[in-house]
Structure 1
Amino acid sequence: MSDRPVGVFDSGIGGFSVLNALQAELPNERFVYFADTAHAPYGERGDDYVATRTRAVTRHLVDAHDIKAMVVACNTATAAAIHLLRVDHAALPLVGVEPALKPAVAISRTRRIAVLATRGTLASAKFNALLASLAAQADFSLVPCDGLAAAIEANDAAGIASLCARYAAAAGTFGIAAGEVDTLVLGCTHYPFVAEQLRASTGAEVHYIDTGAPVAQQTRRLLAASQQLAVSATRQEDTADATDTTRDTRTTLLLASGHPSQLDAAASRWLLRSAAPAAVFSAAAMAAA
């Protein structure tokens, strides 16, 4: 058993979609969420830059917050640096994220799948190895969504609507008939927050796939295997009434390398009410590496 926190990291607020799933899956765990807002967005930067930042943030969370596990809640950072973190912190349970192509293949009936992701993710060797392993099972339409994560960070409603329409159109014709794209992979942790805007272009019958729940489940498995689950850490539906909104107060610390007000505002928009802490603590927690 361990009351040490779990670290969660993203370049900005996109990882809140993963944090929501983690809080639902592990309601008794404490979390430290680090948004590298001073150096975001990652998706259009080079691998070396992203790897340097990812390693620096992980060192900070290990040294300053004594985290017991690390969730890299960023597709671009996972692709660029998860293998380096496994060397740097061999004893630390690590969970990364990647576009959920395998679940998409399992659920698609037309065998036409669209993947919306950052340019960095789509260009990575890790993603392309995964894509190659599944190429015979489905046709994939890959769409680099330049600017979409930044628009979500800025809460730019007009920009989000325009970009969602543009990138959905670039993905192909959506539907459930033969030859149509029936499954959409949200390949960036920011994108679940604009699913409603994307639905305006894809229609309600298209399957949407993201990685929040599987990442949370894998985090539980790793904590259990290392005997580090918090005391009485069980699924919330097994232990509390669904209307209980007090269980997670003061369990999540929010940190930012940039100005904390952006993170606080995003938390009020995107963190689920039933899982968000009652008080959000933000700080410019780390100088630029």
Structure 2
Amino acid sequence: MQSTDNTIGILDSGVGGLSVLLEVRKKLPHVPVHYIGDSEWCPYGNKPAELIQSRSYAVAEELIEMGARTIVVACNSATIHAVEALRARYPIPFVGMEPAVKPASQCTRSGIIGVLATEASIAGEKFHALLKTHIHPKGLKVITQPCPDFVTLVEDGMLSGPKVEAAVREYAHPMVEAGADTLVLGCTHYPFLRESIQSVVGPDIQLIDTGEAVARRTASLVEDYEGLATISVHTTGNLACLERLFPILCPSLPAHLHQITIA
């Protein structure tokens, strides 16, 4: 029998958090999941902190109503501006994202790290605290780059091709030319562009994201069990767009797709 106490909720500004859903599914194949992509308000990364927090509250409350007993904030911008407030407000565990600065600091050989992220993530206090803890004491250099087109490309289901390559060259190439040998994919949308990014920057550049680590942390909070686990994916945006995108981003992953209204 399934235990409703094990149900996982995942929230994101759109479809980027599906990259985290895929990692969670690998770790917890028998646990039911409710995912909400707040695509009506996507992207969060260029929104004011107060709006990001209020939308995170609204989505979290909907997930709790659906039965979620652990929630993954699969959005770097929402983690930066809302995860601590969510933990204070609701009596369940919240697992957040953060740019993979710590592992990047351990991997770099040149001492120069590029961070591809949203404007909200780069501006957040949490990000600067990561730099203070893991970068400055080692004398490393970090180059940051907001990448608004990356989110738009993924939300449009465009994971490769000339437009993607042009965006990667604009955002990532200057970092590589400046000596960065490690690039942090600091938004959950970006892993869907990993192959295109790698092809442009070359095989010697390390790409790091935190999806697997977040899934591992989630698994430590949730007990897996044998049984039939359903995945329900909800969007506050256009259902037809989700129905088109989901097979592109999550091929072979069975899920029920729904549209939802969250005031």
Q: What is the TM-score with the length of structure 1 in the denominator?
A: 0.84
Alignment match, 1:118? 118
Provide the C-alpha distance between the structure 2 equivalents of 1:127 and 1:271, rounded to a whole number of angstroms.
29
Shift of 1:15: 0.5
Shift of 1:139: 1.0
Alignment match, 1:182? 181
Shift of 1:21: 0.4
1:35 matches 2:41: no
Report the secondary structure of 1:103's partner residue. helix
Does the Cα contact within 8 Å between 2:77 and 2:118 map onto a contact in 1?
A: yes
Pick one of 236, 256, 260 that aligns with 1:257. 236
Does the Cα contact within 8 Å between 1:9 and 1:35 map onto a contact in 2?
A: yes
Alignment match, 2:82? 81
Gaps of 5+ in 2: none
**Percent identity of paired positions between Structure 1 and Structure 2:** 33
1:26 matches 2:25: no
Report the secondary structure of 1:219's partner residue. helix
C-alpha distance after superposition, 1:187-216 (max 9, x if no partner): 001111111221233110111101111000
C-alpha distance after superposition, 1:112-168 (max 9, x if no partner): 111100111100111111112222322111111122201211124443222111001
Does the Cα contact within 8 Å between 1:113 and 1:184 map onto a contact in 2?
A: yes
Report the secondary structure of 1:142's partner residue. strand
1:286 matches 2:251: no
Higher share in helix: 2
Alignment match, 1:204? 203
Total equivalences in the alignment: 257
Provide the C-alpha distance between the structure 2 equivalents of 1:264 and 1:212, rounded to a whole number of angstroms.
23
Alignment match, 2:17? 15
- Equivalent residue letter for 2:152: A
Alignment match, 1:231? 225
Pick one of 138, 153, 156 that aligns with 1:154. 156
Does the Cα contact within 8 Å between 1:20 and 1:272 map onto a contact in 2?
A: no
Q: Please show how residues 240-251 of structure 1 align to structure 2 within 5 Å.
A: 251=230
Does the Cα contact within 8 Å between 1:141 and 1:172 map onto a contact in 2?
A: no
Report the secondary structure of 1:168's partner residue. helix
Provide the C-alpha distance between the structure 1 equivalents of 2:260 and 2:128, rounded to a whole number of angstroms.
34
- Equivalent residue letter for 1:230: D
Gaps of 5+ in 1: 175-179, 224-228, 233-246
Q: What is the TM-score with the length of structure 2 in the denominator?
A: 0.92
C-alpha distance after superposition, 1:41-77 (max 9, x if no partner): 11111111111100100011112x1111000000001
CA RMSD between the two structures: 1.7
C-alpha distance after superposition, 1:236-281 (max 9, x if no partner): xxxxxxxxxxx97x620010111112222221011152xx11xx32
Alignment match, 1:163? 167
Shift of 1:25: 0.7
C-alpha distance after superposition, 1:11-64 (max 9, x if no partner): 11111110110000111111111010111111111111111100100011112x
Report the secondary structure of 2:220's partner residue. helix
Alignment match, 1:66? 67
Moved over 6 A (4+): none
Provide the C-alpha distance between the structure 2 equivalents of 1:264 and 1:70, rounded to a whole number of angstroms.
24
Provide the C-alpha distance between the structure 2 equivalents of 1:251 and 1:118, rounded to a whole number of angstroms.
31
